Structure 1
Amino acid sequence: MALYPCYLAQPPANQFEIPIQSHELTPQISLLQSWDFVTAAPPPPNHGFRPSPPNPLLIFTPSVAGKYPVLLFCHGFYLRNSFYSNLLEHIASHGYIVVAPQFYDWIPISGTTEISYAAKVTDWLSEGLQPLLPDNVKADLLKLALSGHSRGGKTAFALALGHAKTKLKFSVLLGIDPVAGSSKNSRIFPHILTYVPHSFNLSIPVTVIGTGLGPEKANCCSPACAPDGVNHKEFYNECKEPCSYFVAKDYGHMDMLDDNPPGIVGELSGCMCKNGIYPRDLMRRTVGGLVVAVLKASLKSEDGDFKAIVNDPALAPAKLDPVEFVAA
């Protein structure tokens, strides 16, 4: 059976790496288009002042000229934003600008600090994003989405709930296997789970994408990466309408990452969590397709793909069970 369009990547997306600067000079830009690396010099002075981002960033853009919605993506605990390159390129190729900050490198930060960093990046978008984009790609910040994986999913929820103030408003929220801590009694501050159904004070559409193997241990020495009581089930249980819920039954907490992420952290990401036995590409296409379908429905008023997936989950490359949608 042919894959549904949203599960297929479109023309190659552009990827920019923006290192943080300790001064106000314009940062260098590394551009990845298809598989060729190009280093671009800073723009000439007539481009005007370009504020440095508060954190290092990866930016993914469509390769076709146009004005596009923006998705802010928060990485998981101790992971690198580059580990999500295939997934984020898939999303960008469907007509979205994806901004993925790196909140820390080797020393994890508190949950409260991570939320404040996410808020600062959000506020930076207004003045800092457009000067970094190709001349033919325009950011539509009136259509701003927020997402995150693992602890980054919890950060995204906390930011949407107002635990840090932002100048820009989010139009839709997506949690990808969000995790609020190692157990119900050991949660990351600030505590956002209340264990009261439909208690999240959110007025925007929310989608939660979970994994079936996330609550399982990889081995006898490692805890579950997305344990019950603090994982996708509870996040969805506390969402108000409109909300949707998809669980990739046969996949684990890290299975939406790139194949074989580099370095020590990349190696650890492949063995610390229970993984599925099927190719990660199917999981990335599934998660990417779900994100694209939700963004199209929420930001572009094009809900055909979303309705098709809800009505026939078998369209997805990976098995989705359960699938739920509660309309407003």
Structure 2
Amino acid sequence: MATSVQIMNPSTEVLETAVTTVFEPGKLAVEVIPVDHDTNPTPPIPILIASPQDAGTYPVAMLLHGFCLQNHFYEQVLKHIASFGFIMVAPQFHISIMAKGDTEDIAAAAEVTDWLAKGLPSVLSKGVEPNLSKIALAGHSRGGHTAFSLVLGHGKTNLKFSALIGLDPVAGTGKYLQISPKILTYEPSSFDITMPVLVIGTGLGEEKKNILFPPCAPKDVNHREFYNECKAPCYYFVTKDYGHLDMLDDDAPKFMTCMCKDGNNCKDMMRRTVAGIIVAFLKAVLNEEDGDLRVILKDPKLAPTTLDPVEHRLASAERSSNHKDLLI
């Protein structure tokens, strides 16, 4: 919920204070539900669900994890978003350290999407119902590439997505070393995507951790290019002082997180920033409640971390905007 208070006479001085609560956990109790081969109907791959416990009908969002990561590394972010009234679905892809194309994960994500209609109601608490007419698809790192590829038609689903989110998405190791399918064209607004898109990037993602490891989100194949190729309406936030894996839970294995440049500040602030922006976006797109998103666009300093740049393009006005030149 967003509110505006203390508005003075505009003929003299205007003082407006905007408040949003999305960066703190919501009011709904949340349960985490592991779903595996013992479930009927059986999902195509294991799934982790974070769902409100209170009876009601809630929109659904699916989060695809990054390369060589586990879905439970995102549990804090999943629970934060679910506490605002969204059912979060996080598939677990097969883990392989061998670099290969994304075809297998795209197909698996499509199969999980089609499982939702029969499978999701069977595992949720009594009185909790999914609204499958409103589904968002999100992906982190290589999972961002998977999500964009699925929406771009490299996989087929019976259900339709209403929104797309890229969390520091990565499409390869360089401009000429994209993973298959090669979706980046390096032409502005070239993605054939008509739904609203949110891209959240990290300021340190394209920096090396040390001389032994390459950047985890290299230039030319990271969040900046994904956003540039989106059509309006699209939104872009960069967590300036954090790295590619800083949104993961604190108990994510150090042998994984040590490969990426990380920020020096509290990782909980990063998680709350990412989750809060996602909540504001989902509320605007899926629930038609855009107050929180408007507030954050107008005053990014409300976030727990520094957001810079902050941009968006709206369908009604094909131009870029930042918080100094607001289009809302």
State TM-score, norm by structure 2.
0.88
Give the structure 2 partner of residue 4 of structure 1: 20
Please say if 1:158 is aligned against 2:149.
yes
Does the CA contact (< 8 Å) of 1:260 and 1:270 recur in 2?
Answer: no
Secondary structure in structure 1 of the residue aligned to 2:154: coil
Give the structure 2 partner of residue 212 of structure 1: 203
Q: Deviations over 1:38-74 (max 9, x none)?
A: xxxxxxxxxxxx3100000001101221100000110
Q: How many Å separate the matches in 2 of 1:3 and 1:286?
A: 15
Q: How many Å separate the matches in 1 of 2:243 and 2:29?
A: 27
Q: How many Å separate the matches in 2 of 1:115 and 1:2?
A: 40
Question: What root-mean-square deviation, in Å, do the aligned CA atoms of Structure 1 and Structure 2 show?
Answer: 1.4
Please say if 1:294 is aligned against 2:268.
no
- Letter of the aligned partner of 2:109 in structure 1? A
Q: How many Å separate the matches in 2 of 1:314 and 1:307?
A: 13
Does the CA contact (< 8 Å) of 1:76 and 1:148 recur in 2?
Answer: yes
Please say if 1:247 is aligned against 2:238.
yes
Q: Deviations over 1:68-87 (max 9, x none)?
A: 00001100000000000001
Give the structure 2 partner of residue 309 of structure 1: 296
Aligned with 1:284 (options 252, 264, 271)? 271
Does the CA contact (< 8 Å) of 2:164 and 2:196 recur in 1?
Answer: yes
Matches within 5 A, 1:144-293: 144-261=135-252, 266-293=253-280
Shift of 1:236: 0.3
Give the structure 2 partner of residue 32 of structure 1: none
Does the CA contact (< 8 Å) of 2:273 and 2:303 recur in 1?
Answer: yes
Does the CA contact (< 8 Å) of 1:161 and 1:200 recur in 2?
Answer: yes
Give the structure 2 partner of residue 33 of structure 1: none
State TM-score, norm by structure 1.
0.88
Q: Deviations over 1:105-143 (max 9, x none)?
A: 355563011100000000111111111111121000001
Matches within 5 A, 1:64-75: 64-75=54-65
Q: How many Å separate the matches in 2 of 1:267 and 1:228?
A: 24
Identity, % of aligned pairs?
Answer: 54
Q: Deviations over 1:211-236 (max 9, x none)?
A: 00000000011000001000000000
Shift of 1:256: 0.3
Does the CA contact (< 8 Å) of 1:12 and 1:89 recur in 2?
Answer: no
Give the structure 2 partner of residue 92 of structure 1: 82
Q: Deviations over 1:159-180 (max 9, x none)?
A: 1111101000000000000000
Aligned positions, number = 297
- Letter of the aligned partner of 2:305 in structure 1? A
Shift of 1:102: 0.3
Q: How many Å separate the matches in 1 of 2:231 and 2:18?
A: 34
Does the CA contact (< 8 Å) of 2:280 and 2:293 recur in 1?
Answer: yes
Does the CA contact (< 8 Å) of 1:3 and 1:316 recur in 2?
Answer: no
CA gap of 1:269–1:191, structure 2 versus 1, over 3 A, is same
Does the CA contact (< 8 Å) of 2:169 and 2:226 recur in 1?
Answer: yes
Q: How many Å separate the matches in 2 of 1:268 and 1:186?
A: 25
CA gap of 1:2–1:17, structure 2 versus 1, over 3 A, is farther
Q: How many Å separate the matches in 2 of 1:200 and 1:245?
A: 15
Aligned with 2:50 (options 53, 60, 67)? 60
Does the CA contact (< 8 Å) of 1:177 and 1:226 recur in 2?
Answer: yes
CA gap of 1:191–1:130, structure 2 versus 1, over 3 A, is same
Runs of 4+ more than 6 Å apart = none
Please say if 1:18 is aligned against 2:9.
no
Q: How many Å separate the matches in 2 of 1:274 and 1:2?
A: 33
Secondary structure in structure 2 of the residue aligned to 1:141: strand
Q: How many Å separate the matches in 1 of 2:239 and 2:53?
A: 30
Please say if 1:322 is aligned against 2:299.
no
Shift of 1:260: 2.7
Shift of 1:270: 1.9
Shift of 1:3: 7.7
Could you tell me which runs of 5 or more consecutive residues in structure 1 were left unpaired when the two chains were aligned.
Answer: 28-49
- Letter of the aligned partner of 2:82 in structure 1? A
Does the CA contact (< 8 Å) of 2:19 and 2:295 recur in 1?
Answer: no
